[in-house]
């Protein structure tokens, strides 16, 4: 097959490489000329994705993958087009379709008969049928279901382990017609491999959910579940802090039987997915009070963590406080909805002098984000762990000399590394009840 992949980001490029690894001709489209140039040289533009460099080099060297900024080069005559352009939410938590609209319009101008179009970007329910179908038809002059077929198939992978997740999880699809869904199923079966899984109710592979709307909701539901579950864990942690209970022991005990799956509490819920997709769900279902409450709870956790630090340390006015972690989670160089922003803001609102560190970012990169970089080994009065980078697990007084208080927002540091400091984690019951 000839396949076009629109947007060569942290999901799109691994997908393009995966498709090429199955012997297909793949052309990637991206608006970033620098990304296109690197891909054509066989160089990964964002290091950190397992196996990507090796697979990319092989695909480019074999002539099965190339990149372009020109839709006219990639789209005409394609058997399938997979679009993974980012969708953002604005400050009012409303979807901002700007980038996706532009990509769809560009795609439509060059769409030719016989093509399968698959959107993998997470969407509010109804978007594929109500927004993309008429936009593609208007821009191309073609008719969906007769001249081309349109499906929705949500990406279900995490950056850093995309190739592993592609094999591990069923590929969900939903079409606008039974024939389109059948073509979508055949396409993904031709470009993906699946690991056997005895724990699933049916064979691991491509699962047709019966409609684009069902596939759209499945992605929103599985991610919203995580946000709600974390919100519940955070509520438990805040109560535990009030009464002096170690919530981590409680959660471990609860999860020892198969009907409880409580997640871990923490200082922030970040990334492109968990903080965003519940808002897309709320766009469809604004009266979902449980979803709303979880989002409010999770969004308030950086401020709560700083309040807990203040409760343990005392006044933070003029205190030297170091925030550990710019990334939204450990091991990933990405700041999307990272808790670092609200944590720093909450500290500054209390008069603290704040510095920020992250092993994955240079001092220049940290400064470019608007933060004062921390130099390892310089003095701090207090520190807040925001991202659970593995490097912080072994930190001690050598990295943070004269430190008085540690607030571990992820409970991943080693308490015994701080014998002369006050160490507390969110919900660990280490301080006297309020």
Positions marked active-site: 219, 273
Among 388, 386, 383, which residue's Cα sits nearest to residue 400?
A: 383
* The token pair that represents 112 in the structure block: 């030719």
Place of tokens 């430190």: 403
The region, left, alpha or beta by phi > 0 then psi within -120 to 50, assigned to residue 204 is beta
Asked if 234 and 173 touch (Cβ cutoff 8 Å), the reply is: no
First CA to last CA across the chain, in angstroms?
A: 64
């Amino acid at each position: 097959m000839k396949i076009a992949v629109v947007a060569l980001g942290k999901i799109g490029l691994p997908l393009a490489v995966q498709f090429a690894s199955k012997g297909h001709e793949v052309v990637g489209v991206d608006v970033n000329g620098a990304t296109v140039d690197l891909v054509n040289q066989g160089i990964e533009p964002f290091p950190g994705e397992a196996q990507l460099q090796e697979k990319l080099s092989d695909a480019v060297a074999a002539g099965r993958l190339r990149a372009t900024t020109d839709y006219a080069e990639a789209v005409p005559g394609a058997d399938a087009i997979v679009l993974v352009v980012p969708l953002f939410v604005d400050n009012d938590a409303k979807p901002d379709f700007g980038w996706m609209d532009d990509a769809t319009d560009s795609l439509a101008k060059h769409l030719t008969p016989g093509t399968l179009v698959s959107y993998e970007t997470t969407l509010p329910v109804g978007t594929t049928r109500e927004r993309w179908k008429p936009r593609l038809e208007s821009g191309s002059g073609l008719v969906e279901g007769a001249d081309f077929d349109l499906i929705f198939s949500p990406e279900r992978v995490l950056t850093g382990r995309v190739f592993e997740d592609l094999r591990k999880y069923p590929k969900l699809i939903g079409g606008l017609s039974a024939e389109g869904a059948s073509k979508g199923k055949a396409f993904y079966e031709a470009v993906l491999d699946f690991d056997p899984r005895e724990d699933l109710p049916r064979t691991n592979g491509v699962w047709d959910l019966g409609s684009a709307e069902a596939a759209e909701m499945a992605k929103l539901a599985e991610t919203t579940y995580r946000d709600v579950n974390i919100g519940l864990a955070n509520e438990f942690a805040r109560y535990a802090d009030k009464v002096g209970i170690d919530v981590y022991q409680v959660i471990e005990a609860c999860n020892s039987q198969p009907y409880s799956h409580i997640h871990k509490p923490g200082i922030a819920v970040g990334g492109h997915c968990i903080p965003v997709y519940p808002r897309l769900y709320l766009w469809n279902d604004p009266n979902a009070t449980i979803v709303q409450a979880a989002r409010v709870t999770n969004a308030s956790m950086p401020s709560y963590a700083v309040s807990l630090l203040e409760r343990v340390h005392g006044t933070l006015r003029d205190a030297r406080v170091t925030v550990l972690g710019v990334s939204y989670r450990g091991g990933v160089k990405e700041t999307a909805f990272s808790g670092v922003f609200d944590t720093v803001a909450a500290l500054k609102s209390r008069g603290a002098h704040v510095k920020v560190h992250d092993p994955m970012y240079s001092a220049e990169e940290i400064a470019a984000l608007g933060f004062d970089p921390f130099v390892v080994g310089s003095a701090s009065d207090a520190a807040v762990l925001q991202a659970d980078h593995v490097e912080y697990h072994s930190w001690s007084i050598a990295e943070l000399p004269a430190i008085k208080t540690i607030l571990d927002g992820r409970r991943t540091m080693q308490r015994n590394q701080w014998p002369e400091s006050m160490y507390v984690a969110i919900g660990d019951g280490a301080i006297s009840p309020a």
